[in-house]
Amino acid sequence: SNKSMTSDRNTYVGKRFVHVKNPYLDSMDEDILYHLDLGTKTHNLPAMFGDVKFVCVGGSPNRMKAFALFMRKELGLEESGEHIKDICAGTDRYCMYKIGPVLSISHGMGIPSISIMLHELIKLLHHAQCCDITIIRIGTSGGIGITPGSVVITDTAVDSFFKPRFEQVILDNIVTRSTELDKELAEELFNCSKGIPNFPTLIGHTMCTYDFYEGQGRLDGALCSFSREKKVDYLKRAYKAGVRNIEMESTVFAAMCRLCGLKAAVVCVTLLDRLECDQINLPHDVLVDYQQRPQLLISNFIKRRLGLH
């Protein structure tokens, strides 16, 4: 890889390009990123995305639009004619906004949805020849034994058995991939959180499940075949294993970003304490405030990285 001087760290490091690990890609004459409504022949991807350094992903299209508008204000790009339009407007699967070096993209709910988006996003970053990318998932989650509204920065994503792995079914095999995240990045984000008043933040394991109800030990789904005691016992064992929150995308996100050489982090606010309840009954304004917390942390982080702080 290219050798270059990074001004902020004052050390020689190679530029980190995005690795795609697929021998067939190079021989394709055109690559259509179907769910993003973009393609290598229809769009000049290096011109559109070559300067991207920060990629922020989150489940809800509206929240990722709100994040884009917030970043535009925070980066002082409101007056510069930098307007906000959905780059993926030709599809209603995902939305995407670009604000200077920041890309904001929605991924929907659950592992299959984020996985499809990540395949196409990672190829997009590769085709655009992006380098030194930091990618962060900002989301919501259920806390375990912590005050609702707390922000959890994930050190390791674990599965329902509290193991740091993601099992991908490929043909009729199960391929196990590591879900470790970038520890330095997690620390850097944690340090940023200390600069924000009234901002409870911690680093811990995040459990990723395939379902919101039975898969997270809820007693309030359409189906439930276990007792309250079994639920509480499971969540307490999760807590003992280091799990502080539960969501539905972190393992595949960690695994794919790791394999493709992207520095990745997961930052989720907790909406409830699962040891206390299952239903999310926060007043609308409190919910809005909580959902803004990961956005606020990431905007502070990006501004610091860009030297705007």
Give the interface with ligand URA as residue ranges (CB under 6 A). 140-142, 212, 216, 246-248, 271
* Residues 60, 295: Cα–Cα separation, whole Å: 13
The residue among 134 and 141 lying less far from ligand URA, judged by its C-beta, is: 141
Among 63-71, 135-143, 232-240, 253-261, which window interacts with ligand R2B (CB under 6 A)? 135-143
Residue 278 contacts residue 219 (beta carbons within 8 Å): yes
Closest C-alpha among 255, 103, 104 to residue 181? 255
Judged by CB under 6 A, does residue 278 bind ligand R2B?
no
Assess 190 for contact with ligand R2B (CB under 6 A): no
Nearer to ligand R2B, 249 or 278 (CB): 249
CA distance 94 to 59: 9
Partner from ligand R2B, ligand URA, none contacting 109, C-beta within 5 to 8 A by type:
ligand R2B
Contact 244, 144 (CB under 8 A): yes
User: Are 120 and 87 contacting, i.e. CB atoms less than 8 angstroms apart?
Assistant: no
Whole-angstrom distance, CA of residue 154 vs CA of residue 59: 17
Applying CB under 6 A, among 48, 69, 84, 109 the residue interacting with ligand R2B is 109
Least CB distance to ligand R2B at residue 269 (A): 10
Residue 56: closest CA among 48, 45, 67: 67
Determine, following the binding rule CB under 6 A, whether residue 86 of this chain makes contact with ligand R2B. Answer: no
Contact partner, 249, from ligand R2B, ligand URA, none, Cβ < 5-8 Å per class: ligand R2B
By the criterion CB under 6 A, which residues form the site for ligand R2B? Answer: 59, 109, 139-141, 212, 247-249
